[in-house]
Every structure is written in C-alpha cells, then in structure tokens.
Structure 1
Amino acid sequence: MTSTPLAPPACPVRRRPFRELLRVEARLFARSASSVLWTALIPVAAVVVLAVVPATRRPSDTYGGLSPLRVYLPILMMYVFVMSAVNLLPAVLAGYREKGILRRLSTTPVPPSRLLGAQGLIYLGVGVVIDVVLLVVAICAGVPVPRQLPGFVLSLLLVAAATLAIGLLVTALAGTERIANALGMLVFFPLMFFAGLWIPRAKMNHPLRTISDYSPLGAGVRAVQASLEGHGPAAAPLLVLAGYAVACGAIAARRFRWR
C-alpha cells in the first residue's frame, strides 16, 4: 500500500517574500523624515489652519459660493497623491536602479516587479490614509460628509491610478535619482497649478479652466468636489483620469528600464 505525497503549501510560501519586501520598504519610508514631512505634515497642517480660522469656513462669492476650506480640501487631497507618486516614488526607484538594486533583484526569487508593487502600495496607501485624515479634519470643521460616497471613492482611486502612472513614467524617463527629482518637480508645478493651488478653478478664466478640465489633477479636483457637493462626478473627469492612467502607464511599461 502506497501513500499519496502531500502537496507543499504553495500559497503562504509565495506570499512571504512580497510581505517581507513590503515591510522593509515601509520601514525605510518611515525613516525618511523628508518623505513624511512633505507627504503628511504639510497638507494636514494646511487643512488644520483653514479649519480653525472662522473666515475660511464661511461661504464666499469669490469661490463660487463655497468656503475656502471646501475649495482647498480636494486640492490638498490631490497634493498628497502627486507628492507621493510623482515626486517621491520616482526618486526612490531611480535611485534603486542607479545603485544596481533592481539588477541584483532580478537574480533573486523576488523579481523587480514586486518591488514596484511594494513601492506603489506604500505610497498610495499613505496617500489614502492622509486624505482620510484631511477629510475627517474638514468634517469636524463643518464640511459635510460626502453625499456621493461611491463617486468620492471612485474619484480618489482614479486620481491614485493616474498619479501613479505619471510617477512611473517619470521613473522610466529618468536615468538617475537626481534627474528623477528634477523631472518630478518640473511636473509637480503645472499639475498643482491646474488643480487650483494658486488660482482656484472658480477664479480661472475660460482658457485656463478648459486646460484644467483636461489636466489630471484638474479633472481630479472637479470629480472630488462634485462628490463632496452630492452631485456625483460627471463622466468627463473620470474618463480624463482613466485616460492618463492608461496612456502614461502604457508608455512607462514600454520605456521602463531595470538596469
């Protein structure tokens, strides 16, 4: 009588390397003071300042009948994603490539693609957590709870996908960490300008507003603001965000270099 050999426990073994990689990368991120400062403290501090000043909680004709707090809340949410995915992530990945870490990973059981997945989860996860904190602070200051929660979540997910794709494209085009930092900053300012950081969308003239509508963060602010107001995001900004995610992601995949 022969016994049937037991099959090896495949799933837990396969998952351990990625979990360990995710844990190590998360610890490295937490030790980086600049990453935590620019990604978390600045937008949270800005929302707190807007929340404690009475004048910024009152509706104003200058901002289309909304309060400055309600206008700048979605803009600061966009800031979190663009800082994490477009400014910080490319510098880290380009630095890994420049130091040969991606090349060495290709010779181990953990492929370099898992490093991309771990980095993407860390930076986008941090972005989601900080955006939740921003929303909670704003709600405590009188901003209503999003009346279109599914549309709100969908809008943020598409913003996350679009900014991650743009960040990977910057990584693919940057040969070194220094170039990645320069390209990230070069992309950051136009993105945030058309999101309304310096000139709110309600005060933009028609040409600027049109360009903003077709920019990734302008579309993101438009979709998130509509969800906060209870109208639900229109199809146009969602399609713009999806288009940036697909187009930039496809180009990044073709141009990405592991060494």
Structure 2
Amino acid sequence: MSIAVEAHRPGAGAWLSLIQCEAKMVARDTAGLVVPIGLPLLILVMSASAATDEVVANGRTALDVFVLPLVLTLVISTIGIINMPSFLAYYRRAGILRRLSVTPASPAMVLVAQVVVSVIQAVIGITAALAVAVLIFDANPPVQPGAALGIFVLAMAAMYALGMVVAAVAPTPNSAVAIGLIVFFALAALGGLFGGRAALPEPVAAVGEWLPFGATVQALSAVWAGFAVEPVHLISLGVTTVLGFTVAAVLFRWD
C-alpha cells in the first residue's frame, strides 16, 4: 500500500523569517546602507540652500521641482541597480539558491524577500530625504500626491527590473557591483545628475529623457509642480519594467 506524502509549502512564518534574515544581511552591509541614503541626503543639503527662494510654479520652489525629484530618484536607483543585485549574485555564488531548490523553500522566495527588504530600504531613504527637506528647508509636498505615489511605484519596478538583469548576468558579487555602478552612472549622467539635463547636448538630453533615471526625474518634477506627466516618461518606465523582468527571467541562473 502506497502512502501519499503531502508536500508542505512554506507558510507565513517561513516568509517572515526569510525576510528578517534578508534584513539582517542588508543591515550588516555598511556601504549598502550609507550610500543609498547618505549620498542623496548630502546632495540635498548641498543643493537646498540655493534652491529654496526660486519659485517655479504653484508655489513650489526649485528645491521642490528640481532637487527633490533628483534626490528621490537617486535613492530608488542605487538600491535597485547596485545593492540588490550584489546580494543575489552572492547567494548564487555561495550555492544558497541551488540548495534551496531541493527544499520546500523555492529559490524564488529569496528573490521576493530581497525585493521586499529593498523596498523597505527605499521607503526609509525616501522618508529620510523628505523629512530633512520639509523640516529643515521648508520643502512643499507635490501638487499631485497620488500621481507622485504612482510614479514612485512604477519607478521602483523599473529600477528593480534593471537590477534583476544585472543579477542575472553577473557571475560574482563584485562583478554585480561593478556592472551595477556602470549602469547606474550611465543612466544618471544622461538623466541630468551632473549639472542637469540643460547642460547636455540636445540629442543626448533627449536620449536621457527616454531612459528610466531621466524619465523618473522628469515625471516627479511634473507632479511636484502640478503639471501633466509626459506620456513618454510613463512609457519609458513601463517598457523598462517589462523588458527588464523578461530578460532577467530568461538569463537568470540559479547556480
């Protein structure tokens, strides 16, 4: 007589434990904590004083319309493109994902847990930047807060999709950091991180506007000032999300 053995799937407790373990790993990575939160705050503090007096539209200053969108995009992109892929590449290199594949806990659980922790880290970074901007420099909220929230979600999806591609092609944790840095600085430079898009040649600035970093900055600037978001920016983020996750799914290796 054969006895059927029921496979038990990991429950809520297993998910919570895995997320807690991921959070501890991220917390131990000092550079991974300081750079995505400290660097945007440094840029905010250095740029805020000169931007608080210039009113752009609807009572919003240059700090609100130009500096804050750039700073918040920095938080999202550094976590999604640089931090998260390095952890996933480490787990693959150490054989953790391969070992999980023969247990009830699927390797995909690690991916989900890392994304959850990364999102929490991004929320902390965004909250810290907004708190400093509001409490110290009297920054204003976006004219369209609902649209701003939607853009944040779409931008995080796009940046994490790029991060998944980096994790998929990087053979080692160090290479994941290196590739992530190259992708990040390329997107950020074209998106106006160094001197703004106005300082770039017009064709280069146009390309940067189609890429996810520039698209996020421009979309957030629009909703902060109360303007309509250009469809090209939403299309850019949406296409990046779909293509990024598709390419990552095809190329990702568990071992």
Q: Same fold (TM over 0.5)?
A: yes
Matched residues in 1 for 2:32 and 2:181: separation? 14
Q: Within the alignment, does 1:114 sit opposite 2:109 as a pair? A: yes
Residues 1:132 and 2:127 are matched in the alignment: yes
Matches within 5 A, 1:84-103: 84-103=79-98
Structure 2 CA distance for partners of 1:173 and 1:242, relative to 1, 3 Å: same
Instruction: Report Cα offsets for 1:8-58 as digits up to 9, x if no partner.
Output: xx99x611111100011101211221111112122123323434x3x3323
Q: Residue 163 of structure 1: which of 154, 159, 170 is its match?
A: 159
CA–CA distance in structure 1, aligned partners of residues 38 and 174 of structure 2: 24
- Residue 253 of structure 1 aligns with which residue? 249
Residue pair 1:159, 1:220 contacting (<8 A) in 2 also: yes
**SS across alignment from 1:56:** coil
Aligned-pair RMSD on alpha carbons? Answer: 2.1
- Are the equivalent residues in 2 in contact too, given 1:155–1:233 (CA < 8 A)? no
Q: How many percent of aligned residue pairs carry the same amino acid?
A: 30
**C-alpha spacing 1:190/1:217, structure 2 compared with 1 (3 Å):** same
Mapped pair 1:16 → 2:13:
yes
Identify unmatched segments of 5+ residues in structure 1: 1-9
1:123 and 2:134 correspond: no
Residues 70 and 143, structure 1, Cα contact 8 Å, conserved in 2: no
1:221 aligns with 2:210: no
Within 5 Å, give how 1:141-180 maps onto structure 2: 141-180=137-176
For structure 1, which segment, 225-234 or 239-248, has the greater mean C-alpha deviation from structure 2 after superposition? 225-234
Report the equivalent of 2:3: none
- Amino acid corresponding to residue 79 of structure 1 in structure 2: L
Conservation of the 8 A alpha-carbon contact between 1:91 and 1:180: yes
Matched pairs, number: 244
Q: CA 1:139/1:202 → structure 2, altered by over 3 Å: closer, same or farther?
A: farther
**Range with bigger deviation, 89-98 or 129-138:** 129-138
| Paired residue type of 1:130 | G
TM-score of the pair, normalised by structure 1: 0.87
Gaps of 5+ in 2: 1-7
AA aligned opposite 1:39: P
Counterpart CA distance in 2 for 1:186 and 1:42 is 17
Residue 30, structure 1, aligned to residue 21, structure 2: no
